[in-house]
Structure 1
Amino acid sequence: MILGSAGCSGGSTSSNDGGVVAEADAGTDAGASACAPRRALPAAPTQLVAASVSAFEVSLTWAPSTTDSVKRYRVLLGAGQVGQVERPAFAHRPVVPGETYTYTVTALTDEGGESPPSNPVTVTIPDPLPDALSGLAPGHWYAFPNSNLRAAALSPAMHPWLGWGEGISGIMNDWSSGALDTQRDRLYITGGGHNGYYGNEIYGFDLRTGAWARLTDPDPVSPGAECPDRALGVNCAIHTYDGLEYLPPPFDRFLAIGWDGWPQTALNLDTRRWENHPELPQLGTRTGANSAYDPNTRVLWYHSGAEAVSVWDPATGRWTIRGEADQLGYYKNAVVDPRRKLYVEVGQGSTDTWTIDALGKFVPKRTRLATTGAREIEAVGNPGVDYDPVTDQLVAWNGGGDIYTLNLDTRVWTKRAALGTVVPGPANMNGTFGRFRYVPSLNVFVVVNTVDTHVFVYRLDPRPARLLRRIDVTAPDAKVEANSTGKLGVTAVFQDGTSVVPTSGITFSSLDPEVATLDEDGTFRAINPGRARLQASYTDPLTRRGLVGARVIEVVPMTGDVVLDALTIQPSSALTVARGGTAGLTAVGSYHRGADLFTRDVTCEATWSSDGASIATVADGTVRGVSEGTTTLHAKVGAVDAQAALEVIPRATQELIALNFQPPGPPMVTGWAVADDSAFDATRGWGWQDAVGLQTRGDRKGTQDARLASFVLTMQTGARFRLQVPDGRYHVAASVGDNNFGAGLASVELAGSGIVYGVGTGNTSGASIVEASGGKGLVFDVVGPINWLAVMRVNGMDFNEVLAAAKTW
């Protein structure tokens, strides 16, 4: 087995701040040992106070830590984290009237140090005061006074580029969307681009205060340019169409996707800094694109122009194509029905649906609903559409006071004329997009149409939405012995007094992973004596509001006579590391206490050594290859010694399996083995399983990359290609497509996990890390034409460098 990266920290399974998490490359060299002595703790923040308390928000301030290395602060409600910020102030939303909250704050360093908590502050959330929204009757509209954006927007006097082109009106007029933050009750607006508006700042309308606020400042644009300098890593002012989305907890991010392709950005709403740049999986038009977040599978669905439906997973940062190219047109908006699990598009004369299949292999073909009733709402361009969890209907608007509802079971549209004299004006001529949204906490729909008109809200039904009150987390015992395990229980309690025990949609994390870790199913493992804060985040899929609950467990030393019986080094099979590379080992002790048998990670307490220090060195479980050869590694605890043989291999391309798919015959690409349409051959180690009707071609364009001049075509029915390799983790890269004529959908998957997807003409490549187990090797599901496949064990070598070294064309 070839070793991957080191690990001895007992890290939690989730990011501590609930943020968007990019997948780590397990093939890179391991970093510093996790067994290093702990650094001194930073000084605690002081003078924590509740600066203001209302029925919807608690504002906190504190005196900063005096330790220079402190970079940010963790805000805790009880034992659970509700935010991370860089400055000594935080506004906690949502809060629940009648609840009593106790807050503390700790200081964090980049090295992982966390200070003791600040002084606690306890507040009781008051009941809301009567206001215009609380008395709004069903069927009526309300206009927030003095709520036009132009009055609150930045002036070109300070930022000249904001006065170019159309100016601030372009932030909504130029095919721009909006997104509703269900945690903070804010409608976010950004847009412009394409010589319309040049500002990339984000504005948010706070439905609790009735005022606009600016979340970010505009980045400079040079004369003659459309966007800020790419080196800044910030978003460009863009036509967003229906491409602005709020990702509720566990992500709690604002996502901007639009016409311009760089960069696609997610805004951290605590720090108000841009993070992550998830690139779309295919080129081609994004004009008129739409998107919607699915709270059940916790992914974003995206349908661009004339391309396929795609999926973005915020937890990994990966895009995956999940359908064939499908002409969308220019005038459809999308929403997810979380009860029926449908992706629904409305506009351009129809209502279309796709069934969300929990990230199944492909999305089924779209279904055009045979709707009846007031279908005129379907005929308009980019109507405002959202899902109402109270009436369990889609609700749409396209100007004026009329509201349209769609019962997705009967497929009947109903027009509801406005009551009263207050009504919004006409819809924006270029579309409403996501600037019409449902606000669960207030049970109203909000719409903003231009920078010179008011923000309006509408109440459809008098019944309030069912909102979360708290998340209760339980543990079997408050005190647990080291090396024991247990499972947390989670109950979601709602404000109407009802409760549910969620079976999915919970994100578990440990704020103290060196004391106790927490698996994705809520199983904790006590590691070292100390205090562990274990938390669960749950978001109600109907209202998209999330809360955090936490439980503190005290881990105590094991009692009684504990005897070490044996010691092993893991991985336990043949170990290999590349020269100059590092990899991680784990020492596992097998113990007994009376009749109880158990194992424990003793990596950090073992004494490590290598018989041949000129071949490899090892310390605290991290092995480093020095020169080619073999040696024996030791881990010793007391009198018990474990041994493992290690081979240090050259840092070269010998670990790469490079297959070029082509007609039978001599290789068309130097250094790449021929994979044709022949069946699997155990001696050779690769080939097709149970495949019929395969076709090979070797007559395509390949002047820049000879590997793209040939392929094996599996048609649309698909086939399985087997590569027999030993068990272990592997880098995989592949290319699909026909660059002369196209071939519709093409893909390479492994056990339902996508490696590469391509649509239409051209070639598309992709990469992933996969695992072979049970002696089965790697069996790929292939659809359409496959050009080439490259596989290499995860072993500390850089896969991209190795793949580049094999480029001999």
Structure 2
Amino acid sequence: MNTMSVQNKQGNSKSVFNKDRLQTSYLALASLLIANSFPGFVAQAHAVTSFERLSSLLAATPEGGWVKASTNFYSDAWPTGADGVQLASVQFPGSIVRAWSSFAWDPADGKLMLWGGGHANYAGNEMYVWDGATGAWGRGSLPSKTDMDGMVIGGTAPQSAHTYDNNIYLPVNDMFLTFGGAAIRTGGNFQTMEDATIRRAGPYLWDPAKADPNKVGGSNDSGWNPDNAAQNGNMWIDRHDNWTGSEPSGYINSTTAYATENGQDVVYLTADRNSSGFPSLYRYTLGDVRNGGQDKWEQVGVTVNSVGSQSTGTIDTENNLYIKTALVTGSYTSDLTIWDLDKANAADPRSNPDIGINLVKEDGSDFVMTRAFGIDYDKANNQILLWDGKGDGGTVWSASVITDEAGNIGSNTTWTVIEHESSTLDHPHGNFATGVLGKWHYDESLGAFIALDELASAGGGAWDASIWLYKPTTVVPEPETYALMLAGLGLIGWVARRRSREDR
């Protein structure tokens, strides 16, 4: 990681460029190179990354190329057997991927958590977990039992929902978080039954430490067999009564991105009433969940200069910017919407309006953003990468983030976007029905992107939603940085030669 955490002028933690950590990163890279020639360095090289399997796949993949990381079919994890099969047998779990969906990525354990369904597509609220260490799809819970209106019996787990870009992992609390979006039947916010009255519910947290493929996510009465106490998972937590402030009115077409601030999990989120296309920016700070901590909602920005519905978002941690895809329509021509998080203002959100960015191709022609794209920030190269997920693998596009010396967007609001043709014959099939949305995430340790492919028939009644890794093209360092890298490599070479002489 080439950034360090400091307190910015608002008192929030911010990542900034750090040459010492950059040198450390290059020394680690050099150690890997030297380890191929000096067996005594092997143990040290292994300590560089915990994702040995995924790293080995990427090592054999050229820059700008794809490699498939999943080893079984998504449908291999679908519910079977006596408990939980009733729902899955009459509906189609594949809709969790196909219907406006997203996943959360746990970078510490290398696991992908997929949850969704919703509205008129699928009522099952089971969790799916893909393990990067084995490449296998598994199930984290069984689906809850619901009534005819789609309400979860007992109310101890969330209704299924379209999740757009609204699923996210919280590393401090080690929890999965979903805001939902379009819940089953109603197409609106999460609801639950309490004392014979329907009330709004959520956001919901899911505890991966309690994952069990043979238990329901809620309590025992939400299972298909209420007499089977062993089916009780108690994996979900409804945060409805555990926050202060004012939450957004709804989460349809919302976007999310994660930050750690002052040692707490923070989610920045865009949301608006009735999907108007002019969302506000919110900051949702979570407390220590397992010890009764309370959460906090704050509105910290508004949209006036761009428009966007069915978007995706990311945070540029180098410059502390929230970057969201926009929608070109009418007089609104911006392809990206940006907020400076240093200017996030809960006391006066209107003092922090959005900044619109226009994207142009290398030949100067206009690039038109659509609802199909996923977006995330490549920390190693200080660039955003967009994936449209269209037919035959789709196209990856990159754009460097342009700021002035102070890290502000400044007057340059036209960025050049570069098209990257795949350098490998293998690639996802793409052809997403509802867009990539939250199925495209960057992993800093790997220096690569995790992508969930669109659902596809695998024949013989099997269905696949494969996991792919994309290895971005390295941005050539500035001369000073390049010299630093060479110096680091030279130092490692000197240490290796000295050790070789001493061993004679």
Q: Of the candidates 243, 246, 251, which is equivalent to residue 286 of structure 1?
A: 251
The answer to whether structure 1 residue 139 and structure 2 residue 64 are counterparts is yes
Q: Per the alignment, in what secondary structure is the counterpart of residue 176 of structure 1?
A: coil
Residues 325 and 345 of structure 1, relative CA distance in 2, 3 Å threshold: closer
Q: CA deviation at 1:128?
A: 6.9
Q: Of the candidates 163, 166, 176, which is equivalent to residue 243 of structure 1?
A: 166
The answer to whether structure 1 residue 459 and structure 2 residue 471 are counterparts is yes
Q: Of the candidates 319, 325, 335, which is equivalent to residue 297 of structure 2?
A: 319
Q: Per the alignment, in what secondary structure is the counterpart of residue 423 of structure 2?
A: coil
The answer to whether structure 1 residue 419 and structure 2 residue 423 are counterparts is yes
The answer to whether structure 1 residue 274 and structure 2 residue 213 are counterparts is no
Residues 413 and 433 of structure 1, relative CA distance in 2, 3 Å threshold: same
Aligned equivalent of 1:197: 122
2:258 maps to amino acid: Y
Residues 98 and 392 of structure 1, relative CA distance in 2, 3 Å threshold: same
| Structure 2 CA distance for aligned equivalents of residues 299 and 432 of structure 1 | 24
Q: CA deviation at 1:391?
A: 0.8
| Native 8 Å contact 1:377 1:404 kept in 2 | no
Q: Per the alignment, in what secondary structure is the counterpart of residue 315 of structure 2?
A: strand
Q: CA deviation at 1:411?
A: 2.0
Aligned equivalent of 2:317: 338
Q: Deviations over 1:110-146 (max 9, x none)?
A: xxxxxxxxxxxxxxx9987984333112111112354
Aligned equivalent of 2:357: 369
| Structure 2 CA distance for aligned equivalents of residues 126 and 142 of structure 1 | 15
1:388 maps to amino acid: D
Aligned equivalent of 1:447: 451
Residues 206 and 328 of structure 1, relative CA distance in 2, 3 Å threshold: farther
Q: CA deviation at 1:445?
A: 1.2
| Structure 2 CA distance for aligned equivalents of residues 254 and 147 of structure 1 | 23
Q: Deviations over 1:272-323 (max 9, x none)?
A: 4223514793464432111111234642111123352222111231212223
Q: Per the alignment, in what secondary structure is the counterpart of residue 58 of structure 2?
A: coil
Aligned equivalent of 1:357: 342
Aligned equivalent of 1:763: none
1:207 maps to amino acid: G
Which runs of no fewer than 5 residues in structure 1 stay unpaired?
A: 1-94, 101-124, 464-495, 498-809
The answer to whether structure 1 residue 406 and structure 2 residue 415 are counterparts is no
| Structure 2 CA distance for aligned equivalents of residues 415 and 396 of structure 1 | 10
| Structure 1 CA distance for aligned equivalents of residues 378 and 388 of structure 2 | 17
The answer to whether structure 1 residue 437 and structure 2 residue 419 are counterparts is no
| Structure 1 CA distance for aligned equivalents of residues 47 and 101 of structure 2 | 39
Aligned equivalent of 2:88: 162
Q: Of the candidates 109, 131, 141, which is equivalent to residue 206 of structure 1?
A: 131
| Structure 2 CA distance for aligned equivalents of residues 291 and 130 of structure 1 | 27
Q: Per the alignment, in what secondary structure is the counterpart of residue 342 of structure 2?
A: coil
Q: Deviations over 1:173-196 (max 9, x none)?
A: 111111111111112111111131
TM (normalized to structure 2)? 0.61
Alignment of 1:497-536 (within 5 A): none
Q: Per the alignment, in what secondary structure is the counterpart of residue 294 of structure 1?
A: strand
Structure number, greater radius of gyration: 1
Q: Deviations over 1:537-583 (max 9, x none)?
A: xxxxxxxxxxxxxxxxxxxxxxxxxxxxxxxxxxxxxxxxxxxxxxx
Aligned equivalent of 1:225: 149
| Native 8 Å contact 2:280 2:303 kept in 1 | yes
| Structure 2 CA distance for aligned equivalents of residues 198 and 156 of structure 1 | 18
Alignment of 1:106-121 (within 5 A): none
| Structure 2 CA distance for aligned equivalents of residues 412 and 172 of structure 1 | 32
Q: Of the candidates 245, 267, 282, which is equivalent to residue 300 of structure 1?
A: 267
1:206 maps to amino acid: D
| Native 8 Å contact 2:256 2:270 kept in 1 | yes
| Structure 2 CA distance for aligned equivalents of residues 287 and 130 of structure 1 | 36
Q: CA deviation at 1:154?
A: 1.7
| Structure 1 CA distance for aligned equivalents of residues 400 and 55 of structure 2 | 33
Q: Per the alignment, in what secondary structure is the counterpart of residue 235 of structure 1?
A: coil
| Structure 2 CA distance for aligned equivalents of residues 126 and 379 of structure 1 | 34
Residues 376 and 425 of structure 1, relative CA distance in 2, 3 Å threshold: farther
Q: CA deviation at 1:427?
A: 3.6
| Structure 1 CA distance for aligned equivalents of residues 74 and 238 of structure 2 | 28
Q: Deviations over 1:93-123 (max 9, x none)?
A: xx997569xxxxxxxxxxxxxxxxxxxxxxx
| Structure 1 CA distance for aligned equivalents of residues 367 and 110 of structure 2 | 27
Aligned equivalent of 1:396: 386
Q: Deviations over 1:649-669 (max 9, x none)?
A: xxxxxxxxxxxxxxxxxxxxx
| Native 8 Å contact 1:296 1:338 kept in 2 | no
Alignment of 1:562-577 (within 5 A): none
| Structure 2 CA distance for aligned equivalents of residues 245 and 405 of structure 1 | 23
Alignment of 1:403-802 (within 5 A): 403-409=396-402, 411-451=415-455, 452-461=464-473
Across the two proteins, how many residue pairs are aligned to each other? Answer: 344
| Native 8 Å contact 2:112 2:131 kept in 1 | yes
1:341 maps to amino acid: N
Decide which moves more: 202-211 or 443-452: 443-452
Residues 314 and 163 of structure 1, relative CA distance in 2, 3 Å threshold: same
Q: Per the alignment, in what secondary structure is the counterpart of residue 132 of structure 1?
A: helix
The answer to whether structure 1 residue 386 and structure 2 residue 398 are counterparts is no
Q: CA deviation at 1:207?
A: 2.0
| Native 8 Å contact 1:390 1:461 kept in 2 | no
Residues 263 and 96 of structure 1, relative CA distance in 2, 3 Å threshold: farther
| Structure 1 CA distance for aligned equivalents of residues 395 and 432 of structure 2 | 15
TM (normalized to structure 1)? 0.39
Q: Per the alignment, in what secondary structure is the counterpart of residue 96 of structure 2?
A: helix
Q: Of the candidates 78, 82, 101, which is equivalent to residue 176 of structure 1?
A: 101
Alignment of 1:67-82 (within 5 A): none
Aligned equivalent of 1:151: 76
2:260 maps to amino acid: P
Aligned equivalent of 2:484: none
Q: CA deviation at 1:157?
A: 6.2
Residues 171 and 414 of structure 1, relative CA distance in 2, 3 Å threshold: same
Residues 128 and 255 of structure 1, relative CA distance in 2, 3 Å threshold: closer
Q: CA deviation at 1:447?
A: 1.1
| Structure 2 CA distance for aligned equivalents of residues 171 and 128 of structure 1 | 27
| Structure 2 CA distance for aligned equivalents of residues 276 and 453 of structure 1 | 29
Alignment of 1:7-86 (within 5 A): none
Residues 328 and 449 of structure 1, relative CA distance in 2, 3 Å threshold: farther
Q: CA deviation at 1:324?
A: 4.3
Residues 126 and 397 of structure 1, relative CA distance in 2, 3 Å threshold: closer
Which one has the bigger strand percentage?
A: 1
| Native 8 Å contact 2:51 2:133 kept in 1 | no
Q: Per the alignment, in what secondary structure is the counterpart of residue 162 of structure 2?
A: coil
- Structure scoring higher RCO (CA < 8 A, sep ≥ 6) equals 2
Q: Of the candidates 281, 293, 310, which is equivalent to residue 309 of structure 1?
A: 281
1:331 maps to amino acid: Q
| Native 8 Å contact 1:347 1:382 kept in 2 | no
Which one has the bigger helix percentage?
A: 2
| Native 8 Å contact 1:386 1:436 kept in 2 | yes
| Native 8 Å contact 2:179 2:251 kept in 1 | no
| Structure 2 CA distance for aligned equivalents of residues 232 and 173 of structure 1 | 26
Q: Per the alignment, in what secondary structure is the counterpart of residue 246 of structure 1?
A: strand
| Structure 1 CA distance for aligned equivalents of residues 378 and 132 of structure 2 | 18
1:275 maps to amino acid: I
